[in-house]
Amino acid sequence: MISVSSISEFIYCPVKLYLKHFQENNIQTQEMIAGKIVQEMRRGFEEITKRNIWNIKDNIEIKEIYEVLFDEVPQFIENVSRKYSKMYEVDILNLNDLCNDLEEDFELESRFMALKIKEVLKNTNKRGMEITEMFFPQSLLHFPLKNEELNLSGKIDKIEIINGIYYPIDTRTAIPPGNGVWLADALQIAAYAVLIDYELNKEVLVGFVEYKKIGERRPVIINSILHNKLFNVLDSMNRMFERQEIPEFKLFKNKCQKCEYMEICEYRG
């Protein structure tokens, strides 16, 4: 079964996905481990923020709101960092840099959130739960989706449900393009949209990619053009796996230089 996350790997380079699928040695790079760490820390940060919103009292200043929100975050980062340094062979200097960067990002995000919460407290009667719902709408987190007919499965980062409408949201740590989203990201959102339609019987007209590095959520309109592109890519992927043949592709040397299969790939540029 094709996993939604492998669509972006296929778009990056079909050979890479082919090697990953058919080679015994599944390579785990420092970048992949870093990706897992970022995902876990982001998830935890959101949970801590949601919980801490409940502890915000009336009539307190922005600085105090920030302190309440950010409480526990440094300790949480340290715990996750320690866990991963025991689980994997990680480069400690890189891990420390990653944790420092994340702590800076979380601190900034908490300060910004404190500013917004202060405005809500000042101008509305919303408190506790209502404020949490305002900033974190009802959602399904890391929700598994699977459809035999489509031969497709995946785990979506988040589905936000607002007034009964389902919005798939995928989080990315990469820098986005100048405008819109990368094609691979749009295709993955479209794939989740199709799965939500098939499995949850909810039509999805728009999804979002959250580019955390720049703190921006960008929309993806699910239209027939994107659907067609998605099904063409899925057809090519299915053919590649069934026939065990690599489809035609364009080689980009700069991609090869960053690729973990560089050492064993006979196509490398």
Residues that bind ligand SF4 (CB under 6 A): 13, 15-16, 19, 251, 255-256, 259, 261-262, 265, 267-268
B/e letters for 20-33, b = 16+ CB within 10 Å, e = fewer, are eeeeeeeeeeeeeb
Least Å from the CB of residue 247 to ligand SF4: 12
Rounded distance between C-alpha atoms, residue 153 and residue 166, angstroms: 18
Number of alpha carbons in the 13 Å side-chain half-sphere of residue 113: 26
Terminus-to-terminus CA distance in the chain, angstroms? 30
Q: Which is nearer to ligand SF4, 43 or 255 (CB)?
A: 255
Which residues fall within 8 angstroms of residue 255, CB to CB, at 6 or more apart? 12, 13
Least Å from the CB of residue 221 to ligand SF4: 30
Q: Is 141 helix (H, G, I), strand (E, B) or coil?
A: strand
Q: Label the pairing between strands 216-221 and 206-211.
A: antiparallel
Least Å from the CB of residue 22 to ligand SF4: 12
CB 2 within 8 A of CB 238: yes
Q: Which is nearer to ligand SF4, 148 or 266 (CB)?
A: 266
Least Å from the CB of residue 254 to ligand SF4: 9
Q: Which is nearer to ligand SF4, 225 or 251 (CB)?
A: 251
Q: What 8-state DSSP symbol labels residue 268?
A: -
- CA angle 41–43–44, rounded 5-degree value: 65
Least Å from the CB of residue 188 to ligand SF4: 19
Rg (CA), the chain: 21
Q: Which is nearer to ligand SF4, 14 or 154 (CB)?
A: 14
Rounded distance between C-alpha atoms, residue 209 and residue 201, angstroms: 22
Q: Which is nearer to ligand SF4, 126 or 268 (CB)?
A: 268
Q: Which is nearer to ligand SF4, 29 or 151 (CB)?
A: 29
Q: Which is nearer to ligand SF4, 15 or 41 (CB)?
A: 15
Rounded distance between C-alpha atoms, residue 16 and residue 246, angstroms: 10
Q: Is 211 helix (H, G, I), strand (E, B) or coil?
A: strand
